[in-house]
Amino acid sequence: MHRKPHLPIKNCLACARPFAWRKKWARDWNEVRYCSDRCRREKGRGGPSPSAPHPEYAPPTSRRGRPAS
Ligand SMILES: [Zn+2]
């Protein structure tokens, strides 16, 4: 009776390669999206971050209606 460990697999968002579950990801496997730190850094660099608004989207009132006090 041979039982292979059944590891979940995900596709890396940066290099698009499948990678298997690792013990170091045991705690936050749900959050893992990249096969390595390198891929995470590569993807995180240059991409627009959803939390930071674009400068063009700044409402005009924020430029003008500034309290002078
Ligand atoms: Zn990768």
Q: Is 17 inside any structural domain?
A: yes
Element (H, E) at 62: helix 61-64
pLDDT score of 1: 76
Q: Is 69 inside any structural domain?
A: no
Residue 18 pLDDT class (50, 70, 90 cuts): very high
Q: Is 51 inside any structural domain?
A: no
Q: Is 36 inside any structural domain?
A: yes
Q: Is 62 inside any structural domain?
A: no
Q: Please state whether the predicted TM-score (pTM) of the whole model is above 0.75.
A: no
Q: Is 26 inside any structural domain?
A: yes
CA 9 to ligand 1 centroid distance, Å: 13
The boundaries of the domain holding residue 34 are: 7-44
Residues 6+ apart with CB under 8 A from 15: 35, 39
CA 63 to ligand 1 centroid distance, Å: 42
Q: Is 57 inside any structural domain?
A: no
In the chain, how many domains are there? Answer: 1
CA 54 to ligand 1 centroid distance, Å: 28
